[in-house]
Amino acid sequence: MTAPTQVAPPGTPARRRRRGRWTLDKISFMAVFLGVPLVIYLVFVISPFAQSIYYSLTDWSGFSSTMNFVGLRNFRALLSDDLFLRALRNNVILLIALPIFTLVVALIFASLVTVAGSSRGQVRGLRNSGLYRVVSFFPYVIPGIVIGLIWAQIYDPSAGLLNGILTGLGFDRFESYPWLGDERTAMAASIFAMAWGGIGFYMVLFIAAIRGIDPQYYEAMRLDGAGRFSTAIHLTLPLIRDNVQTAYIYLGIAALDGFVFMQALNPAGGPDNSTLVMGQLLFRTAFTQGKFGYATAMGVALAIVTLAFAALVFTVNRLTGADKDTGR
Amino acid sequence: MTATQTVAEPTVAPAPDRKAKDTPGERATATVAHAVLILWTIVVLVPMLWTLLSSFKTSSEIFASPFHLPATPQWINYAHAWQQAGIGRAFLNTVIVVGVGVAVVMILGAMCSYVLARFQFPGRRVIYYLMLAGLTFPAFLAIVPLFFVLKNFGLLNTLPGLTLTYVAFALPFTVFFLYAFFRTLPYEIGEAAAIDGAGEWKTFFLVMLPMARPGMASVAIFNFLGLWNQYLLPVALNTTRSNWVLAQAIASFASQAGYRTDFGMLFAAVIITIVPVLIVYIIFQRQLQGSVTAGSLK
């Protein structure tokens, strides 16, 4: 408590702002530096967001000048629109399955790389694990549409790699199995393709987080006789939970979108619409059916689901005892 | 001799075993770990190698067997993809739109985040939260009105229009990342520049921007990848075929009916699309992975 009473010695980096007068230099500087980016941002990002909330309350077709305010009618219609509910359900399946699969696999790989080395002396990772990290990250830089297309070909019933491998291994019933054309497997196959693209990224994220943990914790745990698995569950996971939360939110938002992947894997929405996502339906409703008001209502619904999801993740994380001293 | 050794062993064991070999259990763990990771490496690499291999085959060879090598490498697939499928044109468009977009968003983002980070003025918080909103909301929410915004400006289906949209949508991320960066630069330096008579403009361009170079590089790579991979915005806002970007040209294969597709050409197109990003990744691999770290551990 003595520090605040002391006069700061010269040179102390007390946050001094230049509270200077508004010179021409400064005015022109602020106008250009803040004004130009802000105008572009407001016109192309914020204003469309705001407009779409209004359009969602109208029956606008997009190309006519007539636009009637219909209140919440679009939203009520959405609730009884089977196709929309189907797409919503598919998005929710994605929202649950994609993050869990991706995160569990990424966490396992990250743990293997960081703490699977010798248990003598310091805790250390596998030898020569750099290559795994570099290669696993590869798919993350490949455009989503390309990942989708590659996997669509891999899953191809007659010429695809997957059936080629399976029949080569003697599973003859996979000779022309349509992975994306069968309702039972279309969604799972799509989720695997999406996870293939993301696992490496989250693995790198978690490796960094685990490396940031003080090795003394691991040593203490080991002295207590804990095995690797229980160390991972009781030590690593709690200490990197903020990173897991962030990753979960990223992945959840990706799952609520899913447009690019699904468009490449199954442009028409899959067998019996089993992989149709809200983005695809929104796009179709707006740009091929010309129901812009209705389509923006879907956009608003999608935004609401996204925000609700983020809020849920934060709440759950808080209720289950997220910390205390997280200074993010 | 063997007997004496086994007897002698216990007396050695209590000593610090720095140089002792790993126990069998540990070696087993390491072996399993390597096996799992090698398996995943294969799962990652095989589809890519298969794509490469298929890009040199004819359609009938692709249908015959997924594994066989092409009888003669069909380089013509690349020529066809480049010209007939319009990949060449799309490639050029992508380079222009993404190149200009990244350059513009970097300069605008640096300017905006610099002002937000280092100046106090009314409305600062509001602007900050507006930027946060841009990161949070899905682009789908904006896509329909955005279509008409661009139409009203006469920018629909034009490359400048698409570039401007890319800039606007990449701005929030850029500002956030650089905002944190500019806050860490010491204030004394700006003051020293002011004492030396540098105005705000000079201070920024000659002092601050060069100091922010490492942060700028990371964000630029992320923006490059993000915009190169962009799909929704071009598909909705840039439908003139001659203005297509790579994602669109490649997507047109996805919507074609099976029989008419030239599969060799499709795979060649995929390879042409992947190679530039893989090169960028391999060159900047360390920096990219480093910034994943920096971004997540803030």
What pTM, to 2 d.p., does this model score? 0.84
The secondary structure of B111-127 as a DSSP string is: HHHHHHHH---TTHHHH
One domain, residues B36 and B179: no
Query: Residue B201 and residue A16: Cβ atoms within 8 Å?
Result: no
One domain, residues B136 and B234: yes
Task: Look at residue B18 and tell me whether its pLDDT is greater than 50.
Answer: no
First to last CA, chain B: 60
Name chain B contacts of A165, Cβ cutoff 8 Å: 66
One domain, residues B40 and B146: no
Query: Residue A134 and residue B285: Cβ atoms within 8 Å?
Result: yes
Name chain B contacts of A201, Cβ cutoff 8 Å: 292
Listed residues B74, B103, B137: the one ending a domain:
B74
One domain, residues B277 and B134: yes
Q: A–B: how many Cβ contacts below 8 A?
A: 295
Q: Is residue B23 part of a domain?
A: no
Q: Which of B131, B140, B287 best probes binding to A when mutated, by most A CB atoms within 10 angstroms?
A: B140
Query: Residue A150 and residue B136: Cβ atoms within 8 Å?
Result: no
Q: Please give the ipTM for the structure prediction.
A: 0.83
Query: Residue B266 and residue A153: Cβ atoms within 8 Å?
Result: yes
Q: Is residue B2 part of a domain?
A: no
Name chain B contacts of A118, Cβ cutoff 8 Å: 22, 26, 30
Listed residues B74, B105, B128: the one ending a domain:
B74
Q: Which of A21, A74, A149 best probes binding to B when mutated, by most B CB atoms within 10 angstroms?
A: A149
Residues 180-209 of A with CB under 8 A from B: 196, 199-201, 204-205, 208-209
Distance from CA of B165 to the nearest CA of A (A): 6
User: Under a CB-based contact definition with an 8 Å cutoff, are residues A296 and B236 in contact?
Assistant: no
Of B18, B141, B187, the CB nearest to A300: B141
Q: Which tens digits make up the pLDDT trace of A22-63?
A: 788 888 888 899 999 999 999 999 999 999 999 999 988 877
One domain, residues B65 and B157: no
Distance from CA of A299 to the nearest CA of B (A): 4
Query: Residue A44 and residue B169: Cβ atoms within 8 Å?
Result: yes
Query: Residue B289 and residue A204: Cβ atoms within 8 Å?
Result: yes
Task: Look at residue B292 and tell me whether its pLDDT is greater than 80.
Answer: no
Query: Residue B138 and residue A306: Cβ atoms within 8 Å?
Result: yes
Query: Residue A264 and residue B251: Cβ atoms within 8 Å?
Result: yes
Q: Is residue B90 part of a domain?
A: yes
Cβ neighbors of B151 (< 8 A, separation 6 or more) are: none
Domain with residue B202: its CATH number is: 1.10.3720.10
Instruction: Decide if A151 touches B, using CB distance below 8 A.
Output: yes
Show the domain range for B59.
30-74
Distance from CA of A2 to the nearest CA of B (A): 25
Query: Residue B270 and residue A149: Cβ atoms within 8 Å?
Result: yes
Q: Is residue B16 part of a domain?
A: no
Q: Which tens digits make up the pLDDT trace of B126-168?
A: 998 888 888 878 888 889 899 999 999 999 999 999 999 999 9
Residues 165-184 of A with CB under 8 A from B: 165, 168
Q: Which tens digits make up the pLDDT trace of B95-136?
A: 999 999 999 999 999 999 999 998 888 888 899 888 888 887
Q: Is residue B25 part of a domain?
A: no
One domain, residues B167 and B40: no
Q: Which tens digits make up the pLDDT trace of A221-245?
A: 878 877 777 888 888 888 888 889 8
**Nearest residue of chain B to residue A213 (CA atoms):** B297
Residues 73-102 of A with CB under 8 A from B: none
Q: Is residue B61 part of a domain?
A: yes
One domain, residues B181 and B237: yes
3-state secondary structure chain A: CCHHHCCCCCCCCCCCCCCCCCCHHHHHHHHHHHHHHHHHHHHHHHHHHHHHHHHCCECCCCCCCCCCECCCHHHHHHHCCHHHHHHHHHHHHHHHHHHHHHHHHHHHHHHHHHHCCCCCCCCCCCCCCHHHHHHHHHHHHCCHHHHHHHHHHHCCCCCCHHHHHHHHCCCHHHCCCCCCCCHHHHHHHHHHHHHHHHHHHHHHHHHHHHHCCCHHHHHHHHHCCCCHHHHHHHHHHHHCHHHHHHHHHHHHHHHHHCHHHHHHHCCCCCHHHCCCCHHHHHHHHHHCCCCHHHHHHHHHHHHHHHHHHHHHHHHHHHHCCCCCCCCC
Q: Rounded to an integer, what distance in angstroms lies between the CA atom of residue B54 and that of residue B56?
A: 5
**Nearest residue of chain A to residue B116 (CA atoms):** A34
Q: Which of A21, A61, A112, A145 best probes binding to B when mutated, by most B CB atoms within 10 angstroms?
A: A145
For chain B, what is the domain count?
A: 2
A272: left (phi over 0), alpha (psi -120 to 50) or beta: left
Q: Is residue B197 part of a domain?
A: yes
Q: What is the pLDDT of residue B286?
A: 78
Comparing B176 with B256, the larger pLDDT belongs to B176
Comparing A209 with A193, the larger pLDDT belongs to A193
Q: Which tens digits make up the pLDDT trace of A116-143?
A: 765 555 556 677 778 888 888 889 889 9
Query: Residue B168 and residue A150: Cβ atoms within 8 Å?
Result: no
Q: What is the pLDDT of residue B197?
A: 81
Q: Rounded to an integer, what distance in angstroms lies between the CA atom of residue A98 and that of residue B117?
A: 36
The residue-averaged pLDDT of B184-208 equals 83
